[in-house]
Amino acid sequence: MGRRQDGWGTLVVPGEREDVSVPLEIATSYRARTKGLLGRDSVDGAILLSPANSVHTFRMRIPIDVAYLDRRFRVVAVRTMKPGRLGLPRVRARHVVEAEAGAMERWGVRAGVLVEVVRE
């Protein structure tokens, strides 16, 4: 992913007919990764935490979908987490994408899919 800098971009998910483009907040600094989606009532698109291989939902207000990605951005696993949970670390994961619960299924994000992160 290159230089470590918080910012914005697009998560591109390959689709059968056409790709799905999702607005993406990119959190690479320690401060931004630690904050993540804490305190938010909704998410516009998704947030990428990098580097990361696990997340928790303590102090979260909404259930979220979590996609664990390897170093090449291939999806290792997808889980839905309720508030107040601690996710297990994924050994192969190097990045985590968080979104509102149900979003990953709508976008076609599932284990084995290779997604692309395009920075603005």
Would residue 2 count as lying in a domain? Answer: no
pLDDT at residue 4 tops 70? no
Query: Collapsing DSSP states into helix, strand and coil, what is residue 14?
Result: coil
Number of separate domains in the chain: 1
State the average pLDDT for the chain.
Answer: 93
- CATH code for the domain of 92: 2.60.120.1140
Does 34 fall in a domain?
Answer: yes
Whether residue 32 is contained in a domain is answered as yes
Structure confidence by residue, pLDDT tens digits, 82-112: 999 999 999 999 999 999 999 999 999 999 9
Contacts of residue 106, defined as CB under 8 A and 6 or more positions apart, other chains included, come to none
Q: Does any domain span residue 13?
A: yes
| 81 close to 87: Cβ distance less than 8 angstroms | yes
Is position 1 within any domain?
Answer: no
Q: What is the largest CA-CA distance in the chain?
A: 38
What is the reported pLDDT for 1? 56
Structure tokens at 90: 């994924």
pTM of the model: 0.93
Give the range of the structural domain holding residue 110, as residue numbers without chain letter. Answer: 7-119
Task: Count CA atoms closer than 13 A to 94's CA, side-chain side.
Answer: 6
pLDDT at 116 (0 to 100): 98
